[in-house]
Structure 1
Amino acid sequence: MESRFGAFKIGLERLLHFMPHLRRFSSSEVELGTAALAALGQVCGRGLRELDIMLGGKRSETAAQAVLLIPFLGLKRLSITIRGMGDTSELSYPDTPTLNMPTLIQLNLTCLVDDALLEILEYVSRGCFPGMRILVLDLPYIGRPPTLSTPCGALLPLFRTVGPQLSTLCLRTPQAPDAAQLLFPLLKKIRKLHLMDGTMPENVVDFLPQRLVELHLGFDLDSWREGHHVVQCLDQLRTTITPRKSLAVICLKSSTAQPVHWWTMATSNSALAGQLMIRAMWLQAQGISLKDQSGKWVGQWS
């Protein structure tokens, strides 16, 4: 099997030389390897618009692969999935070349393994992304924190770089309960905030950006804890002392295959549905619409 996969990658490297006009490339589920990534950058670096890539894997060539992203100057969307870091200390060297992606609009960063992300996050934060507006961080694990800091401290360099220019942030960082306190003050232009999969930072309402228009809350309908956190968040929003004139919509979204719809939730989880419907009425009186996954307010569910 290993020899077949190696032959496939050699064939891919050759094949890429015949596709100089490629606009999208996805390898988020396959370990591409440095040779194939180098070939992709050499042939399609300036023309590629969307890249989904897995860094790390069995050979743990993360540092080399990260640097090989430099030729992709024309990207508008970059998705990085990390599966095994290995030695990434070279990324922290001051003379290591950095990323410069002037047209990049959206960066997605996912890590599905319990590994330290400090070096890779600091490396990305040293890059130049003047056009970035959307940041998606799906990080169940963050790993070793910086010295004298919490795990959330590993995210601070990146947020200092791109936070002030973001319009949309999607966040799942269960290991960083202080994310709201440390990161949200850096979001100067944020309009949409997605808190995914039951991620509810401590005192999140106290640190919501003043320009926020839409708040999306993801949770598991079958999880009492996650549903309780959502209800608590809505109660805090309703009773907050500081008025939030810009916040207009709160959207409830499911983190599982079971969607959040008013008409089905009333049957599948009547207790939670009742609590959410009451709060939808209260919030509507304050000019904030609490909507389900289909974009409907409780008064539109029939």
Structure 2
Amino acid sequence: MSEKAKTTPDLTLRGLRVFVALAEAGSVIGAASRIGGSPSGVSQHITALETAVGARLFDRKAKPVTLTPAGQVLRRHAHKLLAALSEAQADLAEISLASLPQLNLAIIDDLDASLTPVLVSSLQSRLSRCFVHAFSGRSDHVIDRLLAREADIGVSAMLPPDSSAFRVLPILKEPFVLVVGKGAIQGDVRRALDSLPYVQYSESLPIGQRIARHLARVRLNPDRRFALEATRSVLAMVAQTKGWAITTPLNLMDAERFLPDLEVMPLPFTGDIRRVHLIARVDELGRLPEDLARDCRALIRSRLVPRFDALAPALAGAIEVAAD
């Protein structure tokens, strides 16, 4: 073997991933963000790749950077190679999952009663020898368990601080809605809120913090008399005081026994949207997270959406399920 052959860099999978990221992002900084690396690292990988193939792959003077003819050829092959690798990894993961002794779930509490039985049943049908442990709690606690590896899969309305290490699969999005005591609103809704008791979620909760920020954005500063931690307590207090609160459709269904004493309506000011995701670590568990996300969406379409539409006909269609 010649000395030149010994020192010529090889094509690497990491180099191909960097190449594809740069081709899609159109900038070194954008590619670095996609792969969770540094701009200098991206440049080094591309230089090594160009040396390995013996041709320029990008016109870096163009803004955004564009592929050369050689780069266009490599892109076609790179996508095929990476797709084949991903399929092989998924197949290998399925083999290892068959002997998985335990799987830990963490699910936001307002979906616990509806989603947990479906996910556990789905896991048992796929992994008959696996012991499934399910935790229910706040979105920030779900994320904490994922980060601490105390959960393998989470369903949360929050994202990890560094999402590049996780697969984030959308489940649904829902608007924040107004809940008032039955008969409490007469005339203009926004004006009526000024004279009614405001029942707030505690700002120690993610939902409480988010609602507080949104009220500040729309310049609404209601008199704060009390703060409660559970949706059931919030809705019970709204019914008792003929006051008002802000919540979401999923939270409403978690405490629907109070709805006969309440009215649900759109916010009388600019709204906000909450998104719920299924989250799992990258390159772990094969196709299982995607399968479970589909199961979640199917359940929500078939059961939760019709149920909410029946409870609050004026807001029918408010819960939007992500496409499979």
TM-score range, shorter chain: under 0.3
The higher relative CO (CA closer than 8 Å, separation ≥ 6) is in 2
TM-score by length of 1: 0.22
Structure number, greater radius of gyration: 2
Q: Which has the higher helix share?
A: 2
TM-score (norm: length of structure 2): 0.21
